[in-house]
Amino acid sequence: MDSKLFMEIALGVFTIVGAIFTYALVPYLKEKRVYKWVVKAVYAAEQIFRGTNLGEKKKRYVLNFLKDNGINISESQLNILIEAAVRQLNTSKVEG
């Protein structure tokens, strides 16, 4: 096989792999990392603020913690992740 043709094919393959990595894998890994921090922040809020009717205070704590630590996604996305983490926490309390 001609070395020039081989290099062009290899370059094309690397370009496709790079595009897949950039548009699929990076957001997936970022989401996993973000969710991990959301769960930790929710658990911390549960430990810090004990009692009833403290949901808004806990949520503010989580939002501030995430923003202070460079988690830069929209508030609506954060709300969804927080709700999922709270559900996970509540489920683990019932099962445990």
Range(s) of the domain holding residue 35 = 29-95
Number of domains in the chain: 1
Buried b (16+ CB within 10 A) or exposed e, 49-88: eeeeeeeeebbebbbebbeeeebeeeeeebeebbeebbee
64 is a domain residue: yes
The pLDDT of residue 65 is 92
| pLDDT for the residue 44 | 94
Q: Quick check: is 83 in a domain?
A: yes
Q: Is residue 2 part of a domain?
A: no
**What would the pLDDT profile of 5-64 be if each residue is shown by its tens digit?**
888 888 888 788 777 766 666 677 677 788 888 889 999 999 999 988 998 999 899 989
The predicted pLDDT at position 76 comes to 81
Can you tell me the distance from the alpha carbon of 89 to that of 91, in angstroms, rounded to the nearest whole number?
Answer: 5
Q: Is residue 49 part of a domain?
A: yes
**22 lies in some domain:** no
pLDDT, residue 21, reads 62
pLDDT of residue 68: 92
Residue 37 lies in a domain: yes
Q: Residue 15: what pLDDT?
A: 81
> What H or E segment, with its residue span, contains residue 51?
none
pLDDT digits 0-9 by tens, 53-79: 998 999 899 989 988 988 877 778 888
In a domain, 85, yes or no: yes
Maximum Cα interatomic distance, the chain, rounded to a whole number of Å: 73
Residue 7 lies in a domain: no
